[in-house]
């Protein structure tokens, strides 16, 4: 098999041999044709402090790039302390839910928004921390559930990711 520009269709691999598509992506993480201009990919495996994670993810959310924010949360989820993984997993799921809603997938978006809200809420209750790293968990959970209701009710399709981005610190 060959791509249109003659490249072999073998799976793209990263420097460690893991499958990773080299196709460019748009701001919502959708693959574009080889050679098309895309947005810079979010690097994976970047060590960040929890506050840097929240700051970087918020900037990406504000820019309408929830898929990329999800990658930042996923780094914290995979590399952070075990007792914090529920928080970061929940926030990553919220970002993916917003991504799906922005792509026009109301069902998947609502499902992931609710799943992420439940995970973040459960983590906050078990840890007794409503504002870890200044993240206003109650505010983010309320945002996610409201957005899930809106997309299921047939509101804005697709959702404007930047306009609907959550305020992680509640401001």
Q: Report the pLDDT value the prediction gives residue 147, as an integer from 0 to 100.
A: 97
| DSSP class per residue in 38-80 | -BPPPPSS----HHHHHHHHHHHHHTT-HHHHHHHHHHHHHHS
The b-or-e profile of 7-42 (16+ CB within 10 A means b, else e) is eeeeeeeeeeeeeeeeebbebbbeeeeeeeebbeeb
The answer to the question of residue 171 being in a domain is no
CA–CA separation, 37 vs 55, rounded Å? 27
Domains held by the chain: number:
2
Query: Lowest-pLDDT range, 83-97, 100-114, 146-160?
Result: 146-160
The answer to the question of residue 166 being in a domain is no
Q: Based on the domain organization, do 117 and 55 belong to the same domain?
A: yes
Share of the chain above pLDDT 70, in %: 87
Verify cis geometry, omega within 30 degrees of 0, for the bond prior to 63: no
Q: Based on the domain organization, do 95 and 129 belong to the same domain?
A: yes
Q: Based on the domain organization, do 57 and 11 belong to the same domain?
A: no
Q: Based on the domain organization, do 7 and 71 belong to the same domain?
A: no
Q: Report the pLDDT value the prediction gives residue 6, as an integer from 0 to 100.
A: 44
Q: Based on the domain organization, do 85 and 145 belong to the same domain?
A: yes
Q: Based on the domain organization, do 135 and 94 belong to the same domain?
A: yes
pLDDT in tens, 13-65: 666 666 566 788 887 888 878 888 888 877 888 899 999 999 999 999 999 99
CATH of the domain at 137: 1.10.3450.10
The boundaries of the domain holding residue 65 are 50-152
- For the chain, the maximum distance between any two Cα atoms, rounded to a whole number of angstroms, is 56
Q: Based on the domain organization, do 58 and 34 belong to the same domain?
A: no
The mean pLDDT of 100-118, rounded to a whole number, is 96
The answer to the question of residue 168 being in a domain is no
Confidence of residue 4 (pLDDT cuts 50, 70, 90): very low
Confidence of residue 8 (pLDDT cuts 50, 70, 90): very low
Q: Is the pLDDT of residue 153 over 50?
A: yes
């Amino acid at each position: 098999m060959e791509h249109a520009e003659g490249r072999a269709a073998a799976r793209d691999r990263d420097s460690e041999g893991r499958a990773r598509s080299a196709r460019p992506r748009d701001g919502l993480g959708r693959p574009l044709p080889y050679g098309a201009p895309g947005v810079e990919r979010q690097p994976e495996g970047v060590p960040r402090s929890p506050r840097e994670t929240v700051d970087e993810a918020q900037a990406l959310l504000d820019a309408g790039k929830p898929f990329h924010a999800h990658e930042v949360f996923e780094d914290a989820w995979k590399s952070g302390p075990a007792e914090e993984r529920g928080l970061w997993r929940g926030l990553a799921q919220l970002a993916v839910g917003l991504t799906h809603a922005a792509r026009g997938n109301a069902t998947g978006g609502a499902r992931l928004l609710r799943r992420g809200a439940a995970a973040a809420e459960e983590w906050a209750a078990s840890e007794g921390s409503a504002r870890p790293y200044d993240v206003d968990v109650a505010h983010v959970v309320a945002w996610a559930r409201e957005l899930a209701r809106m997309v299921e009710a047939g509101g804005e399709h697709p959702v404007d990711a930047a306009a609907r981005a959550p305020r992680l610190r509640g401001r």
